[in-house]
Copies of this chain bind each other. A is one copy, B any other.
Amino acid sequence: MTQTQLGTSDRIHRAAVRLFATHGFAGTGIRKIADEAGVTVASLYHYVGTKEELLERMMEESMSQLLRPARQVTGDPVQRLSALVDLHVRRHARASQLCRVGDTELRSLSRASRARVLALRDEYQEIWRDTITAGVAAGDFTVPDTNLAAIAMLQMCTGVAHWYSPRGRMTLDQVSTAFVTMSLALLGGGAGPHHPAAAAAEGGGLA
C-alpha cells in the first residue's frame, strides 16, 4: 500500500540502482537500464536525463539519507555512537544496493558533483569522529587513534551491504545489536545496555 503504481521515473531509478550495484556504473549501458525498467531509451532520456545525472542523483540521495538521521543523534557519547552504528548498519542492510553504489562510484562522478558528495561524506564522518572524541574525553572510550577508529568502524559497518540478506541466518535486529556490541568493544567500552534496539525493546530505562 505504501507505494502502488511506481512512477516511470522511479522505475528507471530502481533499475539503475540494481544494475549499477551489480555491474558498476561503467559496466552498465543505458540500453540495459531502459530494458530493465521497461521503457525505451528515448523515454529514459525524457525522464532522467544523462546517465551521469542518474548517478549523481543516486549518490547524493545515498549520502544524504545516511547523513540526515545522523545529524539528529543525541545523548551521551556511548548512546550516540550506538545510534550511529545502528543507523549505518540498518541502512546498509536495507538499501544495500544504493549503499554499494554510493561506496564504489565516487570515481565515476564529474569533479563538480564528486565535490558535492564528498562534502556530505565528510560531514558524516565528522559526526562519527566527534562522537568518538567526546567519548574519549568522557573516559568512555580508549582508542589508539580517534580518526583511525572512526574510519575503521565505518568500513566495518559498511561491509554489511555486501553480505546481509533478509533471508539470512540472523535478523536485522540481531545483526545491528552485534555490530553495536563489537563497536563498543573496539572502543574499549563495555558492551553495555546502550543498544538502541534493545533500549527501545526494554522501554527505555538505563537498567
Binding site for B on A (CB under 8 A): 22-27, 104, 107-108, 143-145, 148-149, 151-159, 162-163, 170, 175, 177-179, 181-183, 185-188
Residues B108 and A182 in contact, CB atoms below 8 Å apart: no
Task: Return the chain B residue nearest A21 by Cβ.
Answer: B107
A153-B156 contact given A24-B26, A26-B24, CB 8 Å threshold: yes
B145 engages A107 (CB within 8 Å): no
Shortest Cβ distance from A145 into B: residue: B178
**B-side contacts of A104, CB under 8 Å:** 104
6 other A-B residue contacts (CB within 8 Å) besides A156-B159, A186-B186: A26-B26, A143-B182, A152-B182, A153-B156, A155-B158, A155-B159
A199 CB to nearest B CB, Å = 17
Q: How far is the CB of A147 from chain B (nearest CB, A)?
A: 8
Which residue of B108, B185, B188 contacts A187 across the interface (Cβ within 8 Å)?
B185
The interface residues of chain B lying within 8 Å CB-to-CB of A178 are 144-145, 148
CB of B108 within 8 A of CB of A177, answer no
Chain B: minimal CB distance from A115 (Å): 18
* A156 proximity list for chain B (CB < 8 A): 152-153, 155-156, 159
User: How long is the Cα–Cα vector from A149 to B175 in the complex, in angstroms?
Assistant: 11
